[in-house]
Amino acid sequence: MKLIFASNNQNKLREIKALIPPSIEILSLEDIQYNQEIEETGHTLEDNAAIKARTIFDVTGEACFADDSGLLVDFLDGQPGVKSARYAGEPSDNSANMDLLLLNLGKTENRNAKFQTVICYKDATQELYFKGEIKGNITHSKNGTQGFGYDPIFTPLGYSQTFAEMTAEEKNKISHRKNAITQLILFLNGLK
């Protein structure tokens, strides 16, 4: 079976290929020579994952999936959420995004937050959603150099280190993305 992943992110492709059964061949957007930008105009992670999966399904008619992730902070009513990549504006700047988030949280004690990943799977007969999340807290300052995005200011529940102080292996075992991919893979295993 062939399955298109509506992404060219090499890290995500590698992670998914390592977990998926060998009977399923994963193709990236580059593999299918799709070079256009897909506008992520949705108001939720679900919307954006669906926009990407539907766009690629409409073009190819083949089974495909897409993902969208973000950080949701309780004190900020779920912001930056779907705007995580560009919270501090264009162009996307991880350091500026974290600075703005820390500024907006100020000294509040309520630092509860969660990362979420939504995967939308689409084929000729169904459109399905798989959601993964990890809960944690926003720190008062940046710690660690690993990872990307908001990793230096997010400490998962039950841990004392931020994501950016963990190895990629440690983070990828517990991450929101891993959680959503695991659910997708359970479903795909049933399709084989």
Q: Within 107-136, which residues bind ligand IMP (CB under 6 A)?
A: 115
Q: Which of 68, 162, 166, 183 binds ligand IMP (CB under 6 A)?
A: 68
* Interacting residue with ligand IMP among 69, 137, 162, 183 (CB under 6 A): 69
Nearer to ligand IMP, 20 or 120 (CB): 120
Residue of the chain from 137, 147, 153, 166 that contacts ligand IMP (CB under 6 A): 147
User: Rounded to the nearest whole angstrom, what is the least distance from the CB of residue 128 to ligand IMP in the complex?
Assistant: 18
Backbone angles phi, psi at 47, to 5 degrees: -55, -50
Place of tokens 């897409």: 66
Size of the site for ligand IMP (CB under 6 A): 14
Answer yes or no: are the C-beta atoms of 177 and 7 closer than 8 Å: no
Is residue 175 part of the contact set for ligand IMP (CB under 6 A)? yes
* Residue 165 touches ligand IMP, criterion: CB under 6 A: no
The yes or no reply on residue 5 touching ligand IMP (CB under 6 A) is no
**Residue 85: half-sphere exposure toward Cβ, Cα within 13 Å:** 9
Residue 177 neighbours by CB distance under 10 Å? 21
Contact (CB, 8 A) for 164 and 144: yes
Helix or strand or coil: residue 165? helix
- Amino acid identity of residue 170, one-letter, is E
The interface region with ligand IMP, picked from 17-25, 122-130, 145-153, 184-192 by CB under 6 A, is: 145-153
- Evaluated on CA atoms 179, 184, 190, 192, the torsion sign reads negative
Q: Choose, by CB under 6 A, the member of 38, 85, 96, 185 that binds ligand IMP.
A: 85
Residues 13-42 that bind ligand IMP (CB under 6 A): none
Can residue 84 be called a binding residue for ligand IMP (CB under 6 A)? yes
Active site residue 68: yes
Q: Which of 68, 74, 93, 99 is catalytic?
A: 68
DSSP class per residue in 81-126: GGGGGGTT-SSP-HHHHHHHHHHHHTT-S--EEEEEEEEEEE-SS-
Instruction: Return residues touching ligand IMP (CB under 6 A).
Output: 68-71, 84-85, 115, 147-151, 163, 175
